[in-house]
Structure 1
Amino acid sequence: MSFGGEGDIEFEVRGSAGVITMTRPKALNAINDRMVLAIDAALDAWQSDARVRHIVLKGEGRAFSAGGDLLALYEMAKSGHPHYDFFRDEYALNARLGNFEKPIVALINGIIMGGGVGVAVHGRYRVMSENAVFAMPEVGIGFFPDVGGSHFLPRLPNNFGMYLALTGSRIRVGDALACGIATHGVAADNLGDLEEALCASEDAAAVLDRFDERGALPPAKLDHEAIGRLFSANSIAGIIADLEAAKDGSELANAALEAMRTKSPTSMSVAFRQLQEGKKLNLADCMRMEFRILVRMLRGHEFVEGIRAVIVDKSNDPTWHPASLDEVTAEAVDAYFQPLGDDELTAFAGKT
């Protein structure tokens, strides 16, 4: 069965399930436009296919998906003539996945970051194994937590989404279950059996409940209540002040401060505002907002500099402009959120 994207992604209907497998293991299943368009085409076909009661989404190799093709985005942004078609397609798909009528089950057994999060987190079910590693590390490369981060992150309990967005921290299955990013936990050795059971049954929820073994998987490592307190301020300056006040007696606060010191002050400021705005918006409106931010990010300094330092040169020495949070003005942040006129992102799955 082909919907495009040959060599990068595969599709099949097995029993009651439409199965999507990302097949770029050497690239850690990084999402490209061919894959986005192919998934969208599969959704077109399967939404009216009576055989398909639910959709199973997985990745080949040691990653579910580690994000997007950052080097390609870097060259595009560096050229001074970035193309936004990929993001239009990707963001429209993110919105569609969050509103798709049939259950989508992401089987996450390895790295899941950035664009990979966007194709997994908006579906109804996210199953993680002990091998799963989740992160939204964008502020460390001068970018922002996109692919719907403005929608799902602020809806996590205990300000956990703000913590993830500002620190870029990596979490494992226990913490993902504790905050709701993961809906079920299944040992890696049992994921194959779970997939077969999903294909054999018309009731995804019943199968997932039967296989859920969160009690046997590693527990949460972070203090979620403490994160809720430390990341509750109504400004980044307030969060920093709370972390500074707590750092001497809190490893968590000290680690968060250390992580945030390496991130782009502009990106963190935009991410904070993005999550504040996203609390009030539905998923489609969040994607419209993120597209506005994206256009400004790809035209600016931070993203190109972040990719240079972290991905290209691997020197990990980005020079951020401005260099401190104090220097980031409200006007500069506000500019990222202004309407794009005729270039607004408006179409989602054929609807406005």
Structure 2
Amino acid sequence: MSSQPEPEVLLQRVGRAGVITMNRPKVLNALNLSMIRQIYPQLKKWEADGDTDLVIIKAVGGKAFCAGGDIRAVTEAGKVGDPLSEDFFREEYILNHAIGTCKKPYIALIDGITMGGGVGLSVHGRFRVATEKTLFAMPETGIGLFPDVGGGHFLPRLQGKLGLFLALTGFRLKGRDVHRAGVATHFVDSSKVKTVNHRTAKHLADIDRSFSYFSEGSEFTTKQAETLSRMSPTSLKMTFKQLQLGGALSLKDVLIMEYRMSQACMRGHDFYEGVRAVLVDKDQSPRWSPSSLEQVSEQDVDSCFSSLGPKDLVL
């Protein structure tokens, strides 16, 4: 008997709510282009539909809301000049913008791992509900990328220098700290989880100090300096500029900027090397080029933000 393959995303009306359920638990609900192409038109349809009052996005599996985008497929495409490396980012960012501008309440239940592409599916919505199982991070500088999907919009708007810290280090926020940081708007207790991790809240003062350029040598800041030393120097400089600019831009303008940055990464070296080291060979020893912050010129960074002309993202 041939069994039908499971749909990657479930789109249902439940009462007056449109419900999007990501259904790829074996790959931690990683977001691919076919899922984006199903979610976007349905979201626009529900937004215009008088019988739909709100949209809810959630995931199956209990372990992850969405652990990120389908980076491996994008990497393979980018290596051979396949249009997927353009289409994925373009259509993902168009969906992020649709979520950020949705006229109906959009509620993301970020229960479990929420990283990268999963952040883009949740953080721009009106309500983001975390549980003790929520694990939030934007770890892109570790794979030669940058915190995209509108990271340049929401990260600089977090308290103090927290957004810059999360963007550069890929630090993981857990449970209630996701709510305390302002990433989630609400916290719902989950009876399955007994303890909550409070570390980050205690470190907020340290974070502000280290990222305001008058760092004191606490154990925490020393550890973060070590983390930064392992990241792509090009990604760190791109990300720093992204957040500097993004703090004063609309979500639309941030996504246009980030699309330019994504294509610069597709043209470059570090993204492919980062994916190789972290996701493919898993040797965790990327050979970045340039290998130090000093070797990344301002001109190199500025070129990542330049217009793509007719290939620019249009929103």
Are the counterparts in 2 of residues 158 and 225 from structure 1 also a CA contact under 8 Å? no
Partners of 1:49 and 1:6 in 2: how far apart? 27
Indicate yes or no: 2:26 matched with 1:26.
yes
TM-aligned CA distance change 1:53 to 1:344, over 3 Å: same
TM-aligned CA distance change 1:329 to 1:292, over 3 Å: same
Are the counterparts in 1 of residues 131 and 176 from structure 2 also a CA contact under 8 Å? no
Alignment of structure 1 residues 10-159 onto 2, 5 Å: 10-61=10-61, 62-81=63-82, 83-159=85-161
Indicate yes or no: 2:279 matched with 1:278.
no
TM-aligned CA distance change 1:325 to 1:8, over 3 Å: same
Unaligned residue ranges in structure 2 (runs of 5+):
none
Match of 2:286 in 1: 318
Partners of 2:198 and 2:53 in 1: how far apart? 32
Are the counterparts in 1 of residues 143 and 270 from structure 2 also a CA contact under 8 Å? yes
Cα deviation digits, residues 87-108 of structure 1 (max 9, x gap): 1111011011101011111111
Cα deviation digits, residues 56-83 of structure 1 (max 9, x gap): 1101111000001121112112224553
| Counterpart amino acid of residue 314 in structure 1 | K
1:135 positional shift = 0.3
Partners of 1:290 and 1:221 in 2: how far apart? 28
Match of 1:9 in 2: 9
Partners of 2:262 and 2:200 in 1: how far apart? 33
Unaligned residue ranges in structure 1 (runs of 5+):
191-215, 234-241
Q: 3-state DSSP class of the match of 1:56?
A: strand
Cα deviation digits, residues 165-209 of structure 1 (max 9, x gap): 11011111222112200111112349xxxxxxxxxxxxxxxxxxx
Indicate yes or no: 2:208 matched with 1:228.
yes
Partners of 1:35 and 1:26 in 2: how far apart? 15
Selected match of 2:262 from 275, 281, 294: 294
Q: 3-state DSSP class of the match of 2:284?
A: coil
Are the counterparts in 2 of residues 135 and 169 from structure 1 also a CA contact under 8 Å? yes
Alignment of structure 1 residues 325-344 onto 2, 5 Å: 325-344=293-312
| Counterpart amino acid of residue 14 in structure 2 | R
Q: How many residues align?
A: 307
| Counterpart amino acid of residue 329 in structure 1 | S
* Aligned residues with identical type, % of pairs: 46
Partners of 1:94 and 1:68 in 2: how far apart? 13
Partners of 2:305 and 2:169 in 1: how far apart? 22
1:38 positional shift = 1.2
Q: Which moved more, 1:135-144 or 1:7-16?
A: 7-16
Cα deviation digits, residues 259-285 of structure 1 (max 9, x gap): 101100000000000000101110000
1:44 positional shift = 2.0
TM-aligned CA distance change 1:34 to 1:81, over 3 Å: closer
TM-score of the aligned structures, taking structure 2 as reference length: 0.93
Partners of 2:43 and 2:71 in 1: how far apart? 26
1:231 positional shift = 1.0
Selected match of 2:233 from 253, 265, 290: 265
Partners of 1:152 and 1:262 in 2: how far apart? 25
| Counterpart amino acid of residue 274 in structure 2 | G
1:50 positional shift = 2.4
Are the counterparts in 2 of residues 178 and 220 from structure 1 also a CA contact under 8 Å? no
| Counterpart amino acid of residue 156 in structure 2 | P
Are the counterparts in 2 of residues 173 and 182 from structure 1 also a CA contact under 8 Å? no
Partners of 2:249 and 2:57 in 1: how far apart? 27
Partners of 1:60 and 1:276 in 2: how far apart? 36
1:35 positional shift = 1.1
Are the counterparts in 2 of residues 144 and 271 from structure 1 also a CA contact under 8 Å? yes
Q: Which runs of 4+ in 1 moved over 6 A?
A: none
Q: 3-state DSSP class of the match of 1:227?
A: helix
Q: 3-state DSSP class of the match of 1:13?
A: strand
